[in-house]
Amino acid sequence: MGTVGYRIEGKQKDLQEIYELFGEFDKGERKPFDELSAKNWEGNIAWALGEDIKDYYLRGFIQSCEIAKGLLTIEAEEAWGTSDFRHILEKHYEDMKVYFMVEEEGNEVYATNDSEGKYFSCRFVVNSCLDGSYEWEYFNTEQEALQYIAERLELDSITTEQLATWQECHVNGDDYMNFNQYKIVA
């Protein structure tokens, strides 16, 4: 499973409707799509909005949902990257824009549609384990990320080629240094 952060801009009444639907499903005030559907499944909201969910790829489960003036923030767990949840919302509501960032470590999926960095400005992530010490850090630039990696490895500096060599030498050990760039997608 991957984690997906959504930042949704739109009319306040539309954002409020999504927020309230999530709350109703989450509190058990509204029954899910069917008896097999989890109360936090994204498809419940799409179904409640009257969308024909059989035509969409919906494999996400909302973990949190918060609202502020002009912005709805949703954190979800989704299988194999982002689902069609964002497409449903943008189709259903006029003038709605859904920004997302997805991280699926096992499949090395790191992507965002926030090309300007309005809500998701980081472009690189480093997760590492050295001598049993686990760290996960985000960076806006490749240079910042490589400097962090160099410091973690107690070096003055490191290039991506040198990091690749280090990774090859530690492929079967307990220590690792994963360096990933977020792909900008539409």
Tell me the C-alpha distance between 105 and 103, whole Å. Answer: 6
pLDDT of residue 49: 97
Same-domain status, 133 and 104: no
Note whether 101 and 140 are same-domain residues. Answer: no
* Residues in Cβ contact with 147 at an 8 Å cutoff, skipping those fewer than 6 apart: 157
Nearest in space to 42 (alpha carbons), one of 73, 96, 88: 88
Is 186 inside any structural domain?
no
Q: Is there a domain that residue 17 lies in?
A: yes
- Domain contains 117: no
> Which residues, at least 6 apart from 63, have a Cβ–Cβ distance to it below 8 Å?
40, 75, 76, 77
Instruction: Indicate whether 95 and 138 sit together in one domain.
Output: no
pLDDT in tens, 28-39: 999 999 888 999
Q: Are residues 91 and 30 located together in one domain of the fold?
A: yes
153 & 68 share domain = no
| CATH number of the domain bearing residue 101 | 3.30.70
What is d(CA 140, CA 172) in angstroms, rounded to the nearest whole number?
Answer: 30
The reply to whether 89 and 11 lie within a common domain is yes
Instruction: Quote the pLDDT of residue 36.
Output: 81
Exposed/middle/buried for residue 124 (C-beta within 10 Å: 0-12, 13-18, 19+): buried
Is the domain of 90 the same as that of 164? no
Q: What is the mean pLDDT of the chain?
A: 94
The low-confidence residues of the chain, meaning pLDDT below 70, are none
Assess whether 55 and 76 both reside in one domain. Answer: yes
DSSP SS3 for 52: coil
Residue 118 lies in a domain: no
Does 79 share its domain with 168? Answer: no
Domain total in the chain: 2
Please tell me the predicted confidence (pLDDT) of residue 122: 96
Q: Supply the range of the domain harboring residue 170.
A: 124-180
Say yes or no: 93 and 7 in one domain: yes
Identify whether 74 is part of a domain: yes
Are 146 and 126 in contact by the 8 Å Cβ rule? The answer is no
Which of 60, 56, 69 minimizes the C-alpha distance to 15? 69
pTM, two decimal places: 0.89
Residues 17 and 73 in one domain: yes
CA-to-CA dists, residue 23 to 17, 74, 88, 186, angstroms: 10, 12, 19, 29
The residue among 112, 140, 170 that closes a domain is 112
> Are both 99 and 9 inside the same structural domain?
yes
